């Protein structure tokens, strides 16, 4: 209780909360719901303590093996706890990454492989990127659409179901455009320009033409915006078994993560939630708001523009019906020197790099994901990782 009392105190000091602590706290709700919702410092502790309520929370049941490499013992605590929960499913293929020296060696090997490696991908259609538009800077669109096209190719049906469910005109337009491209009746650049026109019509200040940059964050938020609610939130007591009624929540396909963190995307989900301003009506203890999906979108986007986070390769949730919902990392977007680039990952783990300004519609092989170290993901040709995109695979 001393600990909780201390937390209460800390919660009244948002500046300290924003400070140098290591836990992932999601600021999205501050933006949405005002600063009265201050994320706590040990949310993972509180989160796991609510597991006994066995509600279909936004419960991530596995994590990337990368997190196990973390040298900070306090960070490992989250992993240990997650293993201890009944909801935990062991990470598949959670083998250690190669040491940095061996990984470098392997990467060098890969680099020397002949170009025919390029033809070995999981998709039936070779990766195709977008040519950069130098008159109307398009790299934000190019990098995002490049990844989305790959995801579309791997599951057209799922794309359409998702676009219909979310009533998203952008996703529908993209889907129709991708069909034309795959039939050879249109170019990806035209599809991009059509989407661009729609966005410009919606908001000409955010999505402008000319030799100016576009915010990838704004772009992703707008493309995945939906009028359909796909999440609920629920207040739960941190002390007793009290849970309040579910409410609709604004969480959609895009997670805007703003806290300073070196942990993984999966961990960010594990700790997703925030402290309630209300006290428990039964025991007056603090309450915590947990967020969970009522519909799992086919694509999840993590916007981590302002800080470093490890992109977990696989993320699994326990759904309402106790079925495991599995997402796999499919795209990484990078920013630096006023330019966005992208990497895509095939379902088999082949890594491809695209920069429409340098190589047009061509991809460059970056080997296989198992040869990539943490640092390899964080940076790409001097640019910082700013967004990771996941596709639901089951
Ligand atoms: Zn209570």
* Least confident window among 119-128, 193-202, 316-325, 366-375: 119-128
Whether the predicted pLDDT of 134 surpasses 50: yes
- Cα(55) to ligand 1 centroid in Å equals 16
Of the CA atoms within 13 Å of residue 30, those in its CB half-sphere come to 14
- Of 177 and 357, the structure prediction assigns the larger pLDDT to 177
Whether the predicted pLDDT of 69 surpasses 90: no
Whether the predicted pLDDT of 86 surpasses 60: no
- Cα(236) to ligand 1 centroid in Å equals 8
How far is residue 352's CA from residue 367's CA, in Å, rounded to a whole number?
A: 7
Task: Please classify residue 123 by burial: count the beta carbons closer than 10 Å to its beta carbon, then call 0-12 exposed, 13-18 middle and 19+ buried.
Answer: middle
Q: Which CATH number applies to 1-394: 3.40.50, 3.90.70, 1.10.3470, 1.25.40?
A: 3.90.70
- Cα(275) to ligand 1 centroid in Å equals 14
Q: Given CA atoms 380, 381, 387, 388 in this order, what sign does their dihedral have?
A: negative
Q: Which of 90, 12, 71, 37 is nearest to 287 (CA)?
A: 37
How far is residue 366's CA from residue 88's CA, in Å, rounded to a whole number?
A: 33
- Cα(274) to ligand 1 centroid in Å equals 16
Residue 324: pLDDT band with limits 50, 70, 90: confident
Q: What is the pLDDT of residue 307?
A: 72
On whether the CB atoms of residues 255 and 300 are closer than 8 A, the answer is: yes
- Cα(354) to ligand 1 centroid in Å equals 52
- Cα(324) to ligand 1 centroid in Å equals 30
How far is residue 392's CA from residue 296's CA, in Å, rounded to a whole number?
A: 8
- Cα(241) to ligand 1 centroid in Å equals 6
User: Average pLDDT of the chain?
Assistant: 70
Q: Which two tokens stand for residue 181?
A: 């491209």
- Cα(373) to ligand 1 centroid in Å equals 44
Question: In percent, how much of the chain has pLDDT > 90?
Answer: 36
Distances (CA, A) of 147 to 81, 143, 228: 34, 7, 24
- Cα(50) to ligand 1 centroid in Å equals 12
Whether the predicted pLDDT of 188 surpasses 70: yes
Which residues partner with 324 through β-bridges?
318
- Cα(268) to ligand 1 centroid in Å equals 26
- Cα(42) to ligand 1 centroid in Å equals 18
- Of 87 and 132, the structure prediction assigns the larger pLDDT to 132
- Cα(245) to ligand 1 centroid in Å equals 14
- Cα(285) to ligand 1 centroid in Å equals 5
- Cα(239) to ligand 1 centroid in Å equals 5
- Of 394 and 114, the structure prediction assigns the larger pLDDT to 394
Residue 91: pLDDT band with limits 50, 70, 90: very low
3-class SS of residue 122: coil
* Least confident window among 56-60, 128-132, 318-322: 56-60
- Of 278 and 115, the structure prediction assigns the larger pLDDT to 278
Whether the predicted pLDDT of 18 surpasses 50: no
* Greatest distance between any 2 Cα atoms in the chain: 68
Where would I find the H helices in the chain? 2-11, 14-17, 28-33, 43-49, 73-84, 100-112, 139-154, 156-165, 169-182, 188-202, 216-223, 265-270, 356-359, 374-378
Q: What is the pLDDT of residue 308?
A: 76
- Please write the tens of the pLDDT for every residue from 201-231: 999 999 988 888 888 999 999 999 999 999 9
Where in the chain are the domains? 1-394
- Cα(289) to ligand 1 centroid in Å equals 13
Residue 33: pLDDT band with limits 50, 70, 90: very low
Whether the predicted pLDDT of 367 surpasses 60: yes
- Cα(242) to ligand 1 centroid in Å equals 5
- Cα(243) to ligand 1 centroid in Å equals 8
- Cα(183) to ligand 1 centroid in Å equals 59
Residue 278: pLDDT band with limits 50, 70, 90: very high
Q: What is the pLDDT of residue 261?
A: 52
Q: Which of 59-63, 69-73, 126-130 has the highest mean pLDDT?
A: 126-130
Give mean pLDDT, residues 192-196: 93
Q: Which of 47, 48, 57, 58 is nearest to 86 (CA)?
A: 48
- Cα(14) to ligand 1 centroid in Å equals 24
- Cα(279) to ligand 1 centroid in Å equals 8
Residues 6 or more apart whose CB falls under 8 angstroms from that of 141 comprise 130, 192, 195, 196, 214, 219
Whether the predicted pLDDT of 357 surpasses 50: yes
Residues 6 or more apart whose CB falls under 8 angstroms from that of 189 comprise 130, 131, 133
- Cα(191) to ligand 1 centroid in Å equals 53
- Cα(43) to ligand 1 centroid in Å equals 17
- Cα(287) to ligand 1 centroid in Å equals 7
- Cα(57) to ligand 1 centroid in Å equals 18
* Least confident window among 180-189, 249-258, 279-288: 249-258
- Cα(389) to ligand 1 centroid in Å equals 37
Q: What is the pLDDT of residue 383?
A: 92
On whether the CB atoms of residues 194 and 177 are closer than 8 A, the answer is: yes
């Amino acid at each position: 209780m001393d600990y909780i009392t201390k937390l209460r105190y800390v919660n009244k000091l948002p500046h300290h909360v924003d400070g140098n602590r290591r836990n992932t706290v999601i600021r999205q709700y501050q933006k949405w719901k005002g600063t009265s919702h201050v994320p706590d410092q040990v949310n993972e502790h509180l989160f796991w303590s609510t597991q006994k309520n066995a509600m279909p929370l936004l419960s991530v049941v596995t994590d990337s093996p990368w997190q196990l490499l973390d040298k900070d013992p306090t960070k490992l605590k989250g992993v240990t706890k997650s293993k201890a929960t009944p909801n935990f499913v062991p990470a598949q293929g959670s083998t250690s990454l190669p040491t940095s020296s061996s990984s470098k060696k392997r990467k060098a090997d890969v680099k020397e492989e002949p170009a025919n490696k390029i033809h070995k991908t999981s998709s039936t259609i070779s990766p195709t990127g977008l040519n950069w538009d130098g008159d109307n800077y398009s790299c934000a669109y190019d990098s995002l659409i490049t990844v989305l096209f790959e995801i579309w190719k791997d599951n057209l049906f799922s794309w359409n179901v998702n676009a219909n469910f979310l009533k998203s005109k952008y996703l529908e337009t993209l889907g129709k455009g991708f069909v034309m491209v795959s039939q050879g009746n249109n170019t990806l650049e035209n599809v991009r320009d059509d989407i661009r026109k729609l966005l410009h019509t919606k908001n000409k200040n955010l999505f402008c033409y000319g030799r100016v940059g576009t915010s990838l964050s704004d772009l992703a938020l707008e493309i995945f915006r939906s009028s359909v609610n796909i999440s609920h939130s629920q207040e739960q007591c941190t002390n007793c078994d009290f849970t309040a009624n579910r409410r609709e929540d604004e969480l959609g396909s895009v997670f805007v993560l703003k806290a300073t963190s070196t942990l993984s995307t999966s961990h960010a989900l594990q700790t997703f939630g925030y402290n309630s301003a209300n006290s428990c009506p039964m025991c007056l203890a603090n309450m915590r708001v947990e967020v969970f999906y009522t519909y799992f979108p086919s694509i999840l986007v993590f916007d981590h523009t302002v800080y470093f986070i490890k992109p977990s390769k696989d993320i699994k949730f326990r759904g309402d019906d106790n079925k495991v919902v599995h997402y796999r990392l499919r795209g990484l977007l990078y920013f630096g020197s006023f330019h966005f680039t992208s990497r895509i990952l095939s379902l088999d783990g082949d890594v491809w790099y695209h920069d429409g300004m340098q190589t047009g519609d061509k991809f460059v092989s970056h080997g296989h994901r198992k040869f990539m170290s943490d640092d390899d993901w964080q940076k790409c040709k001097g640019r910082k990782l700013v967004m990771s995109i996941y596709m639901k695979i089951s």
